[in-house]
Structure 1
């Protein structure tokens, strides 16, 4: 099935579910009191919120490994597995399998990140038995038929070829290479034009057998189902998987030390600038302070410092953002913007100046108070549907958070002091930035510039 047809099918499924019911808002304070640690009769664990307002069930789950388990010379194996796992299984070929999904408006999908192989399953309550059965079939007896694999491979190759003229894709890929080198994090999760043609069906089967195993499985379910019924369905779905994954060890790594700059020439109307720096990992004591101070610098949309300096004050770009990315073995701050080629140098200077100011002086108390207020309130909107809540609960499990984390989160945000924020800012940006420029930039843009005054991270 083509990516276009898959998109169309998923749109139709989402529309059918939306027409069936309007999802209720679930405030974190309410959801936290309802989260159950469910253990099925067969030992499958899940975080579960029973929500009977609408006849809908949303499940998010993942297995450890992700794209980091691709062979070093074959990046893209996990991604190809994710795209072909639902292309026929058991006694159903690809067309029949998707017809079963469509007929019942079941939304089933797989994806891969650097650390995890993710799955999502959303269904109306009346179709839960069939939905879980189809998922079980895909996980335990995928066909990986040659014709289907070649069709999906061609689609991935088409996307990779488009990426060669996509400035954002080129910049993002180069930044990860710059930050992580030959570490698995430095390899593109979707593979390369050279690696994807070499991936065999045997590679797909080997990856599936090594990665999709019960001992690394994390599950989150929100919806109209009772615990006993859910436990039985979880056993029926996951119990036939291998007991233990056979994962290749991935070492911890600190992103490359700034400042560094790379330039990729590309004849496009707008020059793209992607920038970053070593981040702060999820269990670092400074993580929450980093999360708050990042919101002030670049994560706060129209209220961020970068937006004010680059967009409002100088009119250099339409939008600009910065975000913290944390992984199992490293962390990264990543930002992005786009501007006219003849203003790329000015834009980089403005970004570096504001980043340096934040690293040296930190935020003001007013900025800190406003950021904390926003971050506490926005969490309610981030988890306002069953699907979003399931995604959030899964992420908290992957992050190693306690099951009552939602109840404690706002207090953790409130506990961030001005000194904490200043310390985190210095750690994140005290050494400057990794910068990638893609576009019709003047030659001067490609040249390294003097490093900003470096301040040792604590």
Structure 2
């Protein structure tokens, strides 16, 4: 990987910059990533981070939404804010010829967000309409209810979009406070790539960021997945059953054995028709059109999860079958044939994961954010290539916590 981590000093604060120069296309892709500033910071105002990101997409107070958007469009500049559980991200993309204009518009936005009650009311109306439509999205409901089980009592039990009730209560002062806490040099990681020299970029970044304060450092929060196996069933007027399931997976983002989790996850539920879940549930019994499962490893939380849809009359059988498949997977492990197929796919598809600058920057940021070296991915592939069946099965057996499955079911 050709990305590097550099440092720039702004107002006596050392800001890490994940940088990759790429002269293949005359573009600039810049992300201001504010760590520990995603919807983990919503507290008792579910949807606050998401609403704050949407307000930043409404231009400046001086120009308003339409005129600011027109300026971006005139020069084919993309400027967008988004939110994850751990991060708040402002992303800017432009062609090389308009880099200065793009950075100038971003600076205007940071200095003068469109704090206007009418704008907030418009965003809330759109968000409420979206949430009302989701009341009949049974996949969304089943997924949301599963997180309420797995992450009860934590910020992750609530969806990033919030609820109709919580969105209604959010005020302009709440968004101002959220953005004031999030957009802070102490929280910032810059991720940037494109056709530009770093020395030139450094000057531009210092000009862009010099007015951002450095008063607040958001604390990182870890989230523990519940090991209390529960079943939550919701009755809805639906033609089929929606089954979501999940359980703890004990690891950390820096665990050296995570490559084994990647292989095991692929075999159990991530490889489409070759996976255990798909093979047993669809191919052999015809109980579902699709069935997936995977291990999700993050800096703040880790868990095993999956989902399927089945006929109403098959819901109970499918649920029991998921538990049987997971139990047998842990107890008996995988076959050499499954391991070989997993190796071939994971190793063979690796070039597809780093084709574009955007993909490479995303990987570089993820590795840096998790405290891993940039050659970690290559070393992981080498470990996967050398992985033998006994070691993998021993690893799978050591993670019997994934058998503590909880289920969220929406059915008639």
CA displacement 1:353-395 (0-9 Å, x = unmatched): 2111111111122322321232223222122112222222222
| TM-score, with length taken from structure 1 | 0.83
Question: Partner residue of 1:153?
Answer: 124
Work out the CA distance in 1 between the residues paired with 2:34 and 2:241: 38
In structure 1, stretches of 5+ residues that fail to align are 1-31, 441-458
**Structure with a larger share of its residues in strand:** 2
Residue 91 of structure 1: aligned partner: 62
Secondary structure (helix, strand or coil) at the match of 1:164 reads: helix
TM-score by length of 2: 0.92
Instruction: Report the more deviating stretch, 61-70 or 401-410.
Output: 401-410
Choose from 1, 20, 42 the match for 1:70.
42
Return 336-345 or 281-290, whichever deviates more: 281-290
Q: After superposition, give the CA deviation of every residue in 1:302-347 in whole Å (9 maximum; x if it has no partner).
A: 2211111122222222222112223333211111111121121222
Partner of 1:56: 27
Name the structure 2 match of 1:39.
Answer: 7
> In the alignment, does 2:235 pair up with 1:265?
yes
* Match status 1:284 vs 2:255: yes
- Select the residue among 176, 186, 208 that pairs with 1:205: 176
- Once the 2 structures are TM-superposed, how far is the Cα of residue 92 of structure 1 from its aligned partner? 1.9
SS at match of 2:165: coil
Q: How does 1:416-427 map to 2 (within 5 A)?
A: 416-426=387-397, 427=399
Which residue does the alignment assign to 1:314? 285
Q: Does 1:434 align with 2:406?
A: yes
Comparing 195-204 with 386-395, which one deviates more in the overlay? 386-395
Give the superposition deviation at 1:45. 2.4
Equivalent residues in 2 for 1:50-449, closer than 5 Å: 50-64=21-35, 65-72=37-44, 74-89=45-60, 91-247=62-218, 250=221, 252-279=222-249, 280-426=251-397, 427=399, 430-440=402-412
By how many angstroms is 1:120 displaced?
2.2
Cα 1:431–1:272 change in 2 (3 A) is: same
Unaligned runs of 5+ in 2: none
Q: Distance in 2 between matches of 1:428 and 1:89?
A: 52
- C-alpha displacement at 1:148, in angstroms? 1.0
Count of residues paired in the alignment: 406
The answer to whether the Cα contact below 8 Å between 2:259 and 2:380 also exists between their aligned partners in 1 is: no
Deviation at 1:41, TM superposition (A): 5.6
Partner SS, residue 164 of structure 2: coil
Looking at structure 2, the residues matched to 220 and 380 of structure 1 have their Cα atoms a distance apart, in angstroms, of 21
Deviation of residue 258 (structure 1)? 4.5
Partners of 2:156 and 2:167 lie apart in 1 by 17
Asked if the contact 2:244–2:307 (Cα under 8 Å) also holds between the matched residues in 1, the reply is yes
* Cα distance change of structure 1 residues 233 and 408 upon mapping to structure 2, 3 Å threshold: farther
Corresponding residue SS for 1:44: strand
What secondary structure is seen at the aligned counterpart in 2 of 1:255?
A: coil
CA distance in 2, matches of 1:212, 1:413: 39
Change (3 A) 1:248 1:393: closer
CA contact (8 A) 1:275 1:436 kept: yes
Change (3 A) 1:218 1:184: same
Local SS of the residue matching 2:224: coil
Kept in 2: contact 1:355–1:432 (CA 8 A): no
Note if contact 2:187-2:217 (Cα within 8 Å) is conserved in structure 1: no
Distance 1:337 1:244 in 2: 46
CA contact (8 A) 1:298 1:321 kept: yes
